[in-house]
Amino acid sequence: VQLQASGGGLVQAGGSLRLSCAASGSIFSIDSTGWYRQAPGKQRDLVASITRGGRTNYADSAKGRFTISRDNAQNTVYLQMNSLKPEDTAVYYCNAQVRRYSWSSSLDAWGQGTLVTVSS
C-alpha cells in the first residue's frame, strides 16, 4: 500500500492550498484517514481526520480554516486550507488506516510528506 501526497508549495499569508493524498495497492477499504503536520524542531501533530462515514475531527488551529474531505471510490483524501498563516508552515503527511482484505485488521500507512510554506 502506498500513499502519494501532493499539492504543497509556497503561498503568501491569507492564501489557499489544496492537498491531495491518493492510496494505491491492494486495498479493500480505508477506515479513518487524515493529515498530520510537522514543523522544524517540533513533533508531528494531527491537523484533521475523517472517518469512512464522513465524521471529521480538527485541531483547534485548523478549525474554521481547513476542510478535510475524502473520495472513498478513489481512495483519496483532501485537505482544503484557506486563510493560511506563516505558522502553518510544515511538512504535511497523510495517514490512513487501510484494510487490505475484508477479513484483515487495518494497518497504519503514511505518505511521504508534502511541504507547505506560508510567507508573511
What pLDDT is stored for residue 48 in this prediction?
Answer: 98
What pLDDT is stored for residue 20 in this prediction?
Answer: 98
What pLDDT is stored for residue 2 in this prediction?
Answer: 95
Q: What Rg, from alpha-carbon coordinates, does the chain have?
A: 14
Provide the grid cell at 95.
495517514
Which residues does the chain have with pLDDT short of 70? none
What pLDDT is stored for residue 18 in this prediction?
Answer: 98
Q: What letters, b where the CB count within 10 A reaches 16 and e where it falls short, cover 43-65?
A: ebeebbbbeeeeeeebeeebeee
pLDDT tens, position by position, 43-71: 999 999 999 999 999 999 999 999 999 99
CA 113/CA 67 separation, integer angstroms: 18
What pLDDT is stored for residue 111 in this prediction?
Answer: 96
* Residue that is written with C-alpha cell 510528506 in the block: 113
Which residues, 6+ apart, have CB-to-CB distance to 11 below 8 Å?
Answer: 17, 84, 116, 117, 118, 119
